[in-house]
Amino acid sequence: MSIDKLTYDKFLAVLHEELIPAMGCTEPIAVAYASAEARKVLGKKPDRVKAEISNSIIKNVKSVIVPNTGGMKGISASVAAGMAAGDPDARLEVLASIKPEQRYQIEEFLNNVPIDVEHLERGHVFDIIITAYAGNDYAEVQIVDFHTNIVQIKKNGDVIFSNPSRMQHDAADRSFINFKAIFDFASEVSIIDLKDTIGKQITNNIAISHEGLLHDYGVCAGKLLMESGKTDITNALAASSAAGSDARMSGCEMPVIINSGSGNQGIACSTPVITYATIANASEEEMYRALVVSNLVTIYQKDGIGTLSAYCGVISAGIGSAAGIAYLRHHSLEAIEATVSNALGISSGVVCDGAKPSCALKSALAVKTGIIGLKMYENGRNLKEGDGLIGKNGDATVKNIWRLAKQGMTETNDEIINIMLGK
Give 386-399 pLDDT, tens digit per residue: 999 999 999 999 99
Domain boundary among 143, 168, 193: 168
For residue 13, tell me if it sits in a domain.
Answer: no
For residue 283, tell me if it sits in a domain.
Answer: yes
Supply φ then ψ for residue 331, to 5 degrees: -85, 165
Instruction: Please list the alpha-helical segments (H only) found in 63-194.
Output: 75-85, 103-112, 179-188
Give yes or no: residues 124 and 225 share one domain: no
Interatomic CA distance for residues 123 and 410, integer angstroms? 12
Q: How many domains does the chain have?
A: 2
Give yes or no: residues 267 and 370 share one domain: yes
Count CA within 13 A, CB hemisphere, residue 406: 13
pLDDT at 55: 87
Give yes or no: residues 198 and 90 share one domain: no
pLDDT band at 230 (very low <50, low <70, confident <90, very high): low
Q: First-to-last CA distance in the chain?
A: 57
pLDDT band at 165 (very low <50, low <70, confident <90, very high): low
Give yes or no: residues 267 and 398 share one domain: yes
Give yes or no: residues 183 and 131 share one domain: no
- Provide the CATH number for the domain around residue 45: 3.30.1330.90
User: What are the residues whose beta carbons fall under 8 Å from the beta carbon of 164, sequence distance 6 or more?
Assistant: 151
Give yes or no: residues 225 and 158 share one domain: no
For residue 7, tell me if it sits in a domain.
Answer: no
Cα angle for residues 143, 313, 149 (degrees, 5° grid) = 15
Give yes or no: residues 63 and 156 share one domain: yes
Interatomic CA distance for residues 265 and 149, integer angstroms? 19
Contact (CB, 8 A) for 259 and 298: yes
Q: What secondary structure letter does DSSP report for 405?
A: I
% residues pLDDT > 90 (the chain):
82
Res 286 pLDDT > 70: yes
pLDDT band at 168 (very low <50, low <70, confident <90, very high): very low
Q: What secondary structure letter does DSSP report for 52?
A: E
pLDDT digits (tens, 9 = 90+) for 299-333: 999 999 988 889 999 999 999 999 999 999 999 99
Buried b (16+ CB within 10 A) or exposed e, 302-328: bbebbbbbbbbbbbbbbbbbbbbbbbb
Give yes or no: residues 156 and 286 share one domain: no
Give yes or no: residues 147 and 217 share one domain: no
Supply φ then ψ for residue 115, to 5 degrees: -120, 110
User: What are the residues whose beta carbons fall under 8 Å from the beta carbon of 218, sequence distance 6 or more?
Assistant: 245, 246, 247, 249, 250, 357, 360
For residue 1, tell me if it sits in a domain.
Answer: no
Domain boundary among 152, 168, 184: 168
Interatomic CA distance for residues 297 and 18, integer angstroms? 13
pLDDT band at 418 (very low <50, low <70, confident <90, very high): confident
pLDDT band at 169 (very low <50, low <70, confident <90, very high): very low
pLDDT digits (tens, 9 = 90+) for 344-372: 999 998 999 988 899 999 999 999 999 99
Interatomic CA distance for residues 142 and 127, integer angstroms? 7
Give yes or no: residues 182 and 145 share one domain: no
Give yes or no: residues 28 and 176 share one domain: no
The residues with which 139 forms a beta bridge, in sequence order, are 132, 155
pLDDT digits (tens, 9 = 90+) for 182-203: 999 999 999 999 999 999 999 9
C-alpha distances (whole Å) from 220 to each of 186, 244, 255, 281 are 34, 10, 19, 28
Give yes or no: residues 33 and 84 share one domain: yes
Domain boundary among 168, 197, 228: 168
Of 124-133, 292-301, 365-374, 378-387, the least confident = 124-133
For residue 208, tell me if it sits in a domain.
Answer: yes
Give burial (CB, 10 Å; 0-12/13-18/19+) of 423. exposed
For residue 30, tell me if it sits in a domain.
Answer: yes
Query: Within a 10 A sphere around the Cβ of 2, how many other Cβ atoms?
Result: 11
Give burial (CB, 10 Å; 0-12/13-18/19+) of 24. buried
Contact (CB, 8 A) for 359 and 302: no
| Domain range enclosing 340 | 172-420
For residue 5, tell me if it sits in a domain.
Answer: no
Range list of β-strands (E), 36-195? 48-53, 115-119, 127-134, 137-144, 150-155, 158-162
For residue 4, tell me if it sits in a domain.
Answer: no
Q: What angle in degrees, to the nearest 10, is found between the helix axes of 271-279 and 233-249?
A: 140
pLDDT digits (tens, 9 = 90+) for 55-81: 889 888 988 899 999 999 999 999 999
